Amino acid sequence: MTTTVTLTGTGVPIPSPGRAGAGVLVRHGTTVLQFDAGRGTVLRLAEAGVGLHEVTALFVTHVHSDHVIGLPDLVMGRWIQDHVWRTGPLDLHLPEGEAAGFAARMLDPYAADIALRMEHVQEAPPEPRLHAFACGSEPREIWSRDGVTVEAVAVHHEPVPDAVAYRVRTPDGTVVISGDTRVCDEVEELSQNADVLVHEACRTTALHAAVAGTPFEKIFSYHADTVALGGLAKRADVRHLMLTHLIPAPGDAAGEREFAHDVRLGGYEGVLTVGRDLMTATIG
């Protein structure tokens, strides 16, 4: 049995051709875990060969729209199919605070649609099971089943509160998903000897002068600089680093090479993937 890690979305809020919103899929046997659900997640899951009824649980890193805008789509889509698959409600795990509040309200705009569908086919309304957790600077286990565990730790995406990274342990190895964060000690510790680290990437060093004095200067301050990220991956002895949530989105292969150059400049010498949607890494 192997563990696979698939990038279901490598984009950011600004639309970019071929890049769905943030998302990472981790599969081990029949355990199917989705992390975040940005724009187009449902379609990317279908393209990855995953039915919505097959998703075991979904984990949210933080409340920014580009990470959760696809969540109602996933929940509603699964519910609409439930009279066929009978899989029941989806388990949603998310940090306490704004993310949990969003999930509790996310189906409100669909009240009329839900009522109409229940008149025709559906037997009960969609009721995703919300599991909100508190998280600090030390990792804590929040989920476990069939030899797979998920841990969460708070990260630094200020001013966004309650942002977390996740570590998935399977019998094959370890996968870490950073969520959105600047390079920080918490993710470095979480990533020690990880088989795969999926980390957001922002070319802050290269573009610092170009964004000085613009709103992007603030945005760059709470995302992960590619050069510093290379240093983190080297110190943590990460075997495979996958870059996602690419800022700015590379328009071609030359742009992707610039991301890779930055990371290598930071000292990382392991396996490096500049992410595109549906790229997959295998452990085991």
Asked if 66 is an active-site residue, the reply is: yes
State the Cα–Cα distance between residues 283 and 175, nearest whole angstrom. 9
Going by C-alpha positions, the residue among 10, 60, 12, 11 that lies closest to residue 35 is 60
3-state SS assignment for residue 207: helix
Q: Nearest 5°: CA angle at 47, between 65 and 64?
A: 10
What the block records as the tokens of 199 is 């980390």
Question: Are 238 and 198 contacting, i.e. CB atoms less than 8 angstroms apart?
Answer: no
For the four alpha carbons of 188, 189, 190 and 195, in that order, the dihedral sign comes to positive
State the Cα–Cα distance between residues 227 and 208, nearest whole angstrom. 12
Q: What residues does 65 pair with on adjacent strands? A: none
Question: Are 150 and 59 contacting, i.e. CB atoms less than 8 angstroms apart?
Answer: yes
Q: Tell me which amino acid residue 178 is.
A: S
Residue 120, number of CB atoms within 10 A of its CB: 6
Catalytic residue (one of 66, 180, 195, 277): 66
What the block records as the tokens of 172 is 């094959």
Backbone angles phi, psi at 156, to 5 degrees: -110, 95
> What are the catalytic residues?
66
